[in-house]
Structures are given as C-alpha cells and as structure tokens.
Structure 1
Amino acid sequence: MALLKFRREEAAPKGVSAEVEAFLKDYSIEVMPRTAEKVEDFRALLPKGTRVYIAHIDGTPIDDMVKTAARLAGEGYTVMPHFPARIIANKATLADWIARYQGEANVKQALLLAGGVAEPHGDFHCSMQLLETGLFDGFERLHVAGHPEGNRDIDPDGSDKNVMEALRWKQAFSERTDAKMALATQFCFEADPVIAWANRLAAEGIKLPVHIGVAGPAKLQTLIKFAIACGVGPSLRVLQKRAMDVTKLLLPYEPTEFVSALAAHKAKNPDFGIEAVHFFPLGGITTNANWAIENGGKSAVPAAKS
C-alpha cells in the first residue's frame, strides 16, 4: 500500500489554490464490497466522517453489502449504500434490505437509482418507484442520479425529455420530504458541459444540489474502458484526444484540470448548483485518496497502533 502524505489541515498544500481546497472540502467516494476487502484500514486513507457510497452491482449478495456498510460505519464513516431499483425483486425485499442496513450498520442515507441492468428483475424499474413505497421515510439524506451528458437508457432518442421530467418529479418530492436530497452524477471529464447542465437545471427550477462525479487518477486505458461501459457522453473526447498524444499516452490521467475549472467557476458564482465532489476511484482507493490530499482535500488521521 502506498504511503499517504499527511498534512496540516489549516494550510493548503503548496501550489494548490484555495478555490480547489474549498471545492474538495466535503468530497465523497465510492467503494464496492470486493474492493473494500482489499483495504486494511480506511482510517489510514479517508478523513473521519467522509461519506462512502457502497455500489451495489448486480449479483453482489446483500450479505456482502451489509457487512461492508457495518465495517465502514464502525470505522467512523457516513455510509450511503446504493439501492438499484431494477435488481430489487419487490417491496418486501426492499424492506428487508433497509431493515438490515439500519439494524446492522445504522444506515441513514441512501442513493436511489434505476440500476445498470436493461430489464428489471422484479417490480421496480426506476428510483421514483422506490421513493413512492414510503420505506425511505425517516432517512436523513436521499440522493438520486444526475446525468450531465444525458442517458440513452432513459432517453433513447438522445434528448433529455424523460430525464428532465423525472428530475422535476424528484424536485417536487424533495419539497415534501424531510430528507436532504441531492443529485449524484456519473463521472465526466469536461467542465463546460457540466456548467451548462447545472445552469439549465437552475433555469428549469430544479434546485437539488449537485454532487459531481469525478473519475479518480487512473491509467488512460482503464478510464476509456469504464467511460464507454458507463455511457459517458461528449466529454469522452477529452480522453480520446489525450490518447492521440504520444507524450501523454502512458501517463496516468488525473482530474486536476476538470476539478480546477469547476472550482474556479464555483468561486466566481457562489450560487452555482454543484455542492460537492463525488469520486469514482477507478485507479484504486489509495491512489484517489492521495490525489485528494495532495490537491487540498483533508488528510486522514493515522490509525492508532494497537
């Protein structure tokens, strides 16, 4: 495991702007049970209280999900498991999952999304149906998916008609619930389309804060593979352009330019809808944690030796 570079919290690392440090202040990160198993102690990687999403990939046993949630909660993290509608069989299954998360890991936050399968396995096909069950009443925070570059699973014609209609529904739902709600987005690589999308949401009256998806440092080939698989749209050209530059082809991608551009825009426009950064650690959790620290994110506190 690579050594983490700890720093004093009251000063940004040399060369890091205050804008970026502020933008990374409350970042979150995503793990899966199988990747979490490889981490000996998250307290050596992430600041206490960091929100950690637990991705529920089709085929992952709920036992593994709950076990991971309980471990992370025990190490001092705010846990937000995924609830993918299309892999949940029915309301009884959903109620069981929620009861287990709450009983074994004290889970109070959730990310609700359609899920990455084309055909539903059971009664649900979208996050709105999950919300309508009433089973998430009492949760402190509920996040739903955002799509800065559209989503062809929802809008096959390439428009954003259905996506925007769903967002208006979720905005209305947020106004009649006690839970804090936000949009957690797919990762992107280009700032301008994200800025335009966030501004459009505001113009449409959608006030849900955005937690923008950011791909952590990784090999270029790895990022391109994940980007294509996840349906990343026009901003994929940033990686394609980089792949054609022989001088950069073998260098790992880092999200410095993307994050810096969004941070600068946020600093100049405080009401801009992006509230936080959400990392997808495609090149590994340790690599992502180090990058965050080196670029202004809070450092972890070394775990005490037993």
Structure 2
Amino acid sequence: MALLKFKKDDGPVAGSLGADVEALLENYSIEVMPRTAEKVEDFRALLPEGTRVYIAHIEGTPIEDMVATAKRLNADGFPVMPHFPARIIKDTVTLNDWIARYQGEANVDQALLLAGGVDTPHGDFDSSMQLMETGAFDRAGFKRLHVAGHPEGNKDIDRNGGMANVDAALRWKQAFSERTDAQMALATQFAFEAKPIIAWADAIKAAGIDLPIHIGIAGPAKLQTMIKFAIACGVGPSLRVLQRRAKDVTKLLVPFQPTDVISELAAHKAANPDFNVTHVHFFPLGGIKTNAHWAIENGGASARPANV
C-alpha cells in the first residue's frame, strides 16, 4: 500500500473519520518488537513526528536487541518507552543494568512497567509494583512511567482474588503516582468494543483512580490473527465482537479494523471532555505498516507521517 499524498495545508486527500477521531488519535502511540521493527525501512515515513514507540520485551529477547532498537528509534526522533516485564528481570542488579543501558545508549527516560506474560518469575520480581518499590526509576530520573490497565480483567492477577486484586493494584499505582516525580498513566490491554471500555474508565474514576488512560486498540489484522491474540491475552467480553464476525463467512477473509471502537470512543470523548481516556495506544497485530496506513487514512492531520 502506497503512502497517501498530502496537500500542503490540508489533511489526507482520502479524508479522515472526522474531527472527533482526529482529536482522539492526536499523539497516539504504537508498540513494536525488535524483530518487527527490523522490517520497517523508515519509521519517519509511517509515524507522526514525536510518536511514542513502546518496545515490547518478550521472554527470550536479548537486552542487546532491545537497546539497539531503542537507539535506532531515538536517532530517528521518536521518544522510546521500553517494557520492563518484572517476571523476566532477575534482580535489582539486572534492573539497574537495563536502565543504565537504555539511558546511556538510547537516551531513554520513560518506561512501561508490567508483570509480564510469564507464569513463573525468573528471579526476585513478580509485579510492576515491586519494580517501582526499588526506587530505581526515580533515582535514574525517569520522567514518565506507564503501568498496565485491564478494562476486561487480568488473568495474571485476578485468578485468586477476582477483581479485588485488580482494584487493589490500581489503588496502589494511584498512590505511587502521588509520591513520584514521574508522570504516570495507565496503558491498557486492547479491547474491541467501546461500551466495556467506557464503563471501566468511568468506574475506576469514580473509585478515585485519576491516572490518564492510554487505551489499547488492536490495529487492522486478519480475523484469525485477531482472535488468536485476543484469546492469548485474556481479552474478555469484547471478544464477542470478533466471534460474531467469525460467524459471517463473507467477512472471514476481510481484515478486522478498529474503525467502530475508535469512532465510538471519539464520539464519547467529544461529548464528555472529562472522559479519562486521553490517548490511543496501538497494538499492530497485523503489522506496523498496516496499522500506520490505517491511521494515515483515517486520522487526518493527527496521523501525518514525520517526513511529510
């Protein structure tokens, strides 16, 4: 797919989904892995200037590959937010080493802290809260820390205590945000339906959790790919959106796109300016280029690539 051409002072020639969606997609972020980043010749041809790029740290990925990817993205002018998955970090020595490498080689000053999708911890850490309790990120002067949010529950921490564990974790993170100098936000797992997202965001706000929400949205992908990732990641009620689509044989070969969920969230945000979903975070399940092109075609000026 070729990149859209832009007029000097206008939005994309193809038009966008409208002003509400353009506003919601402003300063969106996107997630990559070292192996997927290698397939992208030039991120500046795909992403808006200043786009925050998360680097997912999957178990078994060498820290050298993570840092090299961060260094490349930083050199291209993109702020980098690497994952720090607690359960694959052996100890505080390893944690401090990672922080030093990211800072020294790639000018990183922000991180996503999460438990990580590993059942058995590799060492001393089991949760993002334990990482924060070390004080390592504050001592290193990290300016921004994001932590995980789960609009439809989290199979890693709610299997015993139900939603009570999830709620307790959110309250702890809220309290930590009030005693750290770093800016904090919730970066969430993806969901496919707006209503559960809105209900969750409103509920945690009513409970006193006022951290900004960067809502996870799955980028365009084949339906089979989307269902596979959704099940693996524990996506809950909104999985029914995919299940309904799977029953329609005419749609099985048509990529699923986030048009409906983003449009509904954007309309809700426009009607409710205090809605605490502030940004969109894309999981490019169908590929970084595919996701970026969807944003370019639908997001107006908010998605205009850096080198245009």
Identity %: 72
Of 291, 299, 304, the residue aligned with 2:304 is 299
Mark the runs of 5 or more structure 1 residues left unpaired by the alignment.
none
Cα distance, 1:177 vs structure 2? 1.2
Aligned to 1:191: 194
How far did residue 282 of structure 1 move? 0.5
Could you tell me which amino acid in structure 1 is paired with residue 152 of structure 2? E
Matched, 1:241 2:244: yes
Q: For 1:137-182, what per-residue CA distance to the aligned partner results, in whole angstroms no more than 9, with x for missing partners?
A: 1111000000000012211158311111011011011011111100
- Distance of 2:286 and 2:74 partners within structure 1: 24
| Separation (CA, whole Å) in 1 of partners of 2:228 and 2:189 | 15
Name the counterpart of 1:176: 179
Q: Match for residue 261 of structure 2?
A: 258
Residues 143 and 184, structure 1, Cα contact 8 Å, conserved in 2: yes
C-alpha distance in structure 2 between counterparts of 1:232 and 1:75, whole Å: 33
**Structure 2: how far apart are the matches of 1:25 and 1:237?**
28
Asked if 2 retains the 8 angstrom alpha-carbon contact of 1:150 and 1:158, the reply is no
- Quick one: which amino acid aligns to residue 233 of structure 2? C
Give the distance between the partners of 2:165 and 2:2, measured in 1 at CA: 46
| Aligned residue number for residue 136 of structure 2 | 135
How far apart are residue 6 of structure 1 and its match?
Answer: 3.7
Q: Deviations over 1:112-160 (max 9, x none)?
A: 0000000100000000110011110111100000000001221115831
Deviates more, 1:71-80 or 1:153-162: 153-162
1:6-30 deviations in Å (ceiling 9; x for gaps): 4356546535210000000110000
CA shift digits 1:242-278 (9 cap, x unpaired): 0001221211100000000000000000000101000
Structure 1 residue matching 2:48: 3-state secondary structure: coil
Q: Distance in 1 between matches of 2:128 and 2:208?
A: 20
Matched residue SS, 1:228: helix
In structure 1, distance between residues paired with 2:210 and 2:261:
23
**Structure 2 stretches of 5 or more lacking a match?**
none
Structure 1 Cα separation of the partners of residues 237 and 179 of structure 2 = 35
Instruction: Answer whether contact 1:151 1:158 (CA < 8 A) is retained.
Output: no
Q: How does 1:61-76 map to 2 (within 5 A)?
A: 61-76=62-77
Name the structure 2 match of 1:36: 37
Number of the residue aligned with 1:45: 46
Output the CA distance in 1 between the equivalents of 2:54 and 2:61: 15
In 2, Cα distance between the equivalents of 1:129 and 1:15?
43
For 1:213, which of 213, 216, 232 is the aligned residue?
216
Residue identity matched to 1:292: A
Partner of 1:126: 127
1:30-60 CA-partner distances (Å, limit 9, x unpaired): 0000001111111111112100000000000
- After superposition, residues 98-117 of structure 1 pair within 5 angstroms as 98-117=99-118
Q: 1:136 aligns to what SS in structure 2?
A: helix
Report the alpha carbon displacement of residue 184 of structure 1 after superposing the two structures with TM: 0.3
Distance 1:6 1:233 in 2: 39
Aligned residue in 2 for 1:225: 228
Cα distance change, pair 169–243 in 1 and its aligned pair in 2 (3 A): same
For residues 272 and 207 of structure 2, what CA distance do their matches in structure 1 show? Answer: 18
Pairs aligned (count):
302
The whole-number CA distance in structure 1 between the counterparts of 2:55 and 2:212 is 20
Quote the residue 1:5 is aligned against.
Answer: 4
Q: For residues 290 and 11 of structure 1, what CA distance do their matches in structure 2 show?
A: 14
Structure 2 residue identity aligned to 1:199: D
Which residue of the partner structure matches residue 287 of structure 2?
A: 284
Return the offset for 1:234.
1.0
What residue identity is the alignment partner of 2:298?
A: N
Distance 1:299 1:273, change over 3 A: same
Partner of 1:155: 158
Residue by residue over 1:72-110, the C-alpha shift from the partner in whole angstroms, topping out at 9 and shown as x without a partner, is: 000010100000000000000000000000000000110
Is 1:145 aligned with 2:152? no
Aligned match for 1:164, one of 152, 164, 167: 167
Moved over 3 A (4+): 8-13
User: How far apart, CA to CA, are the structure 2 residues paired with 1:121 and 1:23?
Assistant: 38
Scaled by the length of structure 1, what TM-score is found? 0.96
| Structure 1: distance between partners of 2:174 and 2:5 | 40
Asked if 1:78 corresponds to 2:87, the answer is: no
2:56 counterpart of 1:59: no
